[in-house]
Structure 1
Amino acid sequence: MEEKQSREFEKGSMTGVVWQCDGIRIGHAISKFTELSSFSSSSKTDVVRMHFGMRGNYSFDYKQLNKTFDLIGGHHNIVYSHDFDMVVNNKTLELETFGIQFPKDLFIRFTEHSSESLRAFCENIIAGRSAILSDKWGTIDSPIQQVIQQIIHCRYADDLKKLFLLSKSIELLVLCADAASTSKTKKEIFIKNATDKEKIIAVRDLINDRVHCPPNLSEIAQYVGLNEYKLKRGFKETFNSTVFGYLTDQRLNLARQYLLDTQKTAAEIASQLGYATPQHFNNAFKKKFGITPYLVRNNP
C-alpha cells in the first residue's frame, strides 16, 4: 500500500513515496540536482494523470500531446495518454511534485456526467485520444495545498487509510476540475508575464517558510521586488486569497497538523504560531474547521 522510491539522475536524484488505493496510485517526490540539466521519463500505463508541481520551475516536452509546457512552481492539470514519454528540463535545483493516477475506467465513471470540461475530456479518453483538461494550468491555491498535505501526513492505517486516500483523491479531482472551468473565463489583469508570476510564487514560498514569524507586507514587497499594490492584487488574482488570508490558512493548517502529530498543547501552539492569546487561536481555529483544537486532539 505504501512504498518508498528513489531514482538517480546524471545530475541529481529523486526520493519519494507512493501509495496504492483500489487501483489509484498516489505519489509525492522531491528531486534535487547539482546543476540545471534534463532527464527523460516514460510510462506504459494507460491511466489518467493528475499532476501537481508544488515547488520549482521546469519545462517538459510531452511526446503524446506533441506539446511543450514551461511551468513555474505551484501548478496543476489533468492529462491522458496511452503511455507517455517526456523530456524534463529543470530550471531550479530542487523540484517537488505530487501526482495521482486514476485507472481510465474509474476516472470515466467518476466524471463523464459532471462538468462540461470534464465531459469533453472524457470523450477524448473514451476515443483513445491523448488530451489535457485545460490549456491553462491551474494554480495550487490553499484548498488544494491543504488536501495534498493531508494525504502526505495521513495518520490512518489499513482500511481506514484506503478510505481516506480515496476520498481525498476525489476531493482533489473536484478542486482541479473546478479550477479548470474557472480558468476559461478568468482574466489576468495584474500578473501578465513569467517574471511577475515567479515573484508572486516567491511570495507564497516566503509565507510558507515563515509561518511562525511572518514578514509584513512592506517587507514582502521589498523582498520580491514588487510594489505593495501589485503584490496584493497579483496575489489575490493568482491564489484566490489575500496575502493575510493565505497566511491565516497556512498557520491554522499547520496548527491542526501539530495537534495531530505532536503532544504540544493548544496554548503552546498558539504561542509558537504568533497568536496573541490562546482564546484568539481557539476562535480562529473553530471558524476555519468548525471544531475546537481540543476536539481535534481528542477526536482526530
Structure 2
Amino acid sequence: MIVKGDESDPLLFFKHLAEKFNGQWNGEDFSFDNEFGKLKSTTFGYMNSLYIGITELELTEEMTFEHDPISDRQFVSIRIGKIGDFKSEQSQIQQKDSIYIYNNLQKFKIVYPPNTKMSWFFIRFPKDLYDLIGTDKSSDFYQLISNPKPWFYYSPMLLEIELLINEVYDVLEDLTIRRGLFLAKGIETITKLRAHGITNKLNNVVYDIHPDDLEVMLQLKDEILADFTKMPNVMALSEAKGMSKSKLQRGFKSVFKMPILQFFNHQRVLEGQRRIKSTNHDFTQIAIELGYTDLSHFSRVYKQFLGKRPSEEVRST
C-alpha cells in the first residue's frame, strides 16, 4: 500500500486520508479502525503555518508513505519516530527510535511494516517563523534550515526530547489544555534541538539525495540496529542489497557520516549511555544486554567514543 502526500498542510492531508481509508476527521483528531489496521492522530495548526501533532498506527499490511512536495514555500519538518508508543516500557527495540529533520524540497519514502505499533511526534513550520523563537543567525541549526538545497538530518532519539514528548502524550485526551501544551512543547523541542546542534554539531546531514537511495539507507540503519548483540556482516548486507561493499559503504556514509561498523559501535555506546541514565540496570547487565563480552570491554569502548567511563555518568534517581 502506497500513500503519497505533501506535508505543507497536514490538516488537508488528514482530510484526504479520511476519504481514502473511510476514517473520521474533525479538524483536530483523525482515526480509522478497519481492515487496513488502526491509525489515530491529533494535530493542531497555529497561525495557518505551524503544525504540531502525534500519530500512532498499527497496520495489517505494509504501507509506504512517499513525501512528494508540491509547495514552494520553504518549511522545515521534524519527525520523531518510535517503535511502540511513547509510554511503552523501555525495550531492546528502542534503538530504532529516531529524529528526522528535513526541508520541504527533500523527497523521501518511509516504510511502515505490518503488525508493528509505531508512533511519531511531528512539527512542521516555515523557516520565517523560526525568528519568533530564535534570534540567532549563525548557529548550525539556523544555517541548516536556511539552506535552499534539499536536505535530510538524522539523529538517534535524545532522552531529553523523549521526555518532552511524553508530556505531550500525557495530555492527548485532555481537551482543555492539550492545544496549548502541544504548542509549548513543540517550541521547546525546536529550542532543545537547536541547543543540541550547538553542543554536538549537526553532522548527520545529507544534501540532495535521491529518495530511493535514502529509503535503502534508512532501512539498512534499522536492520543493523535491530539487535546490538549481533555485529553487522557487511558482506551479507551488500549481497542482500544487491550492491558491492564499497558502494554500500559509500551510500551509508553519505547519510550517516560513518562506515557501517563504526556507526553500529557508536550507536551501541549511545544506547548504553541512554540505559545508564534512564534505567536502574547495573553496568554489567547493560554490557551484556548490548552484546559486549564483559564490563571491561564495554567501559573501554565507551571511553573511546564518549571520552569517559560508564561509572562517570550521572544516573537519574
Q: TM-score, normalised by structure 1?
A: 0.57
8 Å Cα contact 1:54-1:97 kept in structure 2: yes
Corresponding residue SS for 2:156: helix
The 5-angstrom pairing of residues 245-260 of structure 1 reads 245-260=262-277
Cα RMSD of the aligned pairs, angstroms, is: 4.9
2:55 equivalent in structure 1:
29
For the residues of structure 2 that align with 1:238 and 1:228, how far apart are their CA atoms?
A: 16
8 Å Cα contact 2:82-2:120 kept in structure 1: yes
Corresponding residue SS for 1:52: strand
Alpha-carbon distance, 1:27 to partner? 5.1
2:77 equivalent in structure 1:
50
For the residues of structure 2 that align with 1:107 and 1:236, how far apart are their CA atoms?
A: 30
For the residues of structure 1 that align with 2:29 and 2:289, how far apart are their CA atoms?
A: 34
Corresponding residue SS for 2:291: coil
For the residues of structure 2 that align with 1:196 and 1:181, how far apart are their CA atoms?
A: 16
Identity of aligned residues (%): 19
For the residues of structure 1 that align with 2:277 and 2:42, how far apart are their CA atoms?
A: 21
Gaps of 5+ in 2: 1-27, 44-49, 66-74, 84-97, 168-180
1:206 counterpart letter in structure 2: E
2:251 equivalent in structure 1:
234
1:209 equivalent in structure 2:
226
Deviations 1:118-150 (A, max 9, x none): 58978xxxxxxxxxx64513141xxx2243x54
The 5-angstrom pairing of residues 151-230 of structure 1 reads 151-152=161-162, 169-173=190-194, 193-230=210-247
Gaps of 5+ in 1: 19-23, 39-47, 57-72, 80-88, 123-132
1:76 equivalent in structure 2:
101
Alpha-carbon distance, 1:13 to partner? 2.9
Alpha-carbon distance, 1:109 to partner? 4.1
For the residues of structure 2 that align with 1:219 and 1:237, how far apart are their CA atoms?
A: 20
For the residues of structure 2 that align with 1:181 and 1:238, how far apart are their CA atoms?
A: 7
8 Å Cα contact 1:77-1:176 kept in structure 2: no
2:156 counterpart letter in structure 1: Q
Alpha-carbon distance, 1:227 to partner? 1.6
For the residues of structure 1 that align with 2:252 and 2:208, how far apart are their CA atoms?
A: 14
2:131 counterpart letter in structure 1: I
2:156 equivalent in structure 1:
145
Alpha-carbon distance, 1:54 to partner? 4.7
8 Å Cα contact 2:249-2:260 kept in structure 1: yes
1:236 counterpart letter in structure 2: K
For the residues of structure 2 that align with 1:155 and 1:296, how far apart are their CA atoms?
A: 24
Higher strand proportion, which one?
Answer: 1
Deviations 1:133-181 (A, max 9, x none): 64513141xxx2243x542256999xxxx99997753242467898699
Q: TM-score, normalised by structure 2?
A: 0.54
For the residues of structure 2 that align with 1:283 and 1:167, how far apart are their CA atoms?
A: 35
8 Å Cα contact 2:76-2:127 kept in structure 1: no
For the residues of structure 2 that align with 1:138 and 1:283, how far apart are their CA atoms?
A: 32
1:272 equivalent in structure 2:
289
8 Å Cα contact 1:138-1:176 kept in structure 2: no
8 Å Cα contact 2:283-2:295 kept in structure 1: yes
1:136 equivalent in structure 2:
150
Give the aligned length: 235
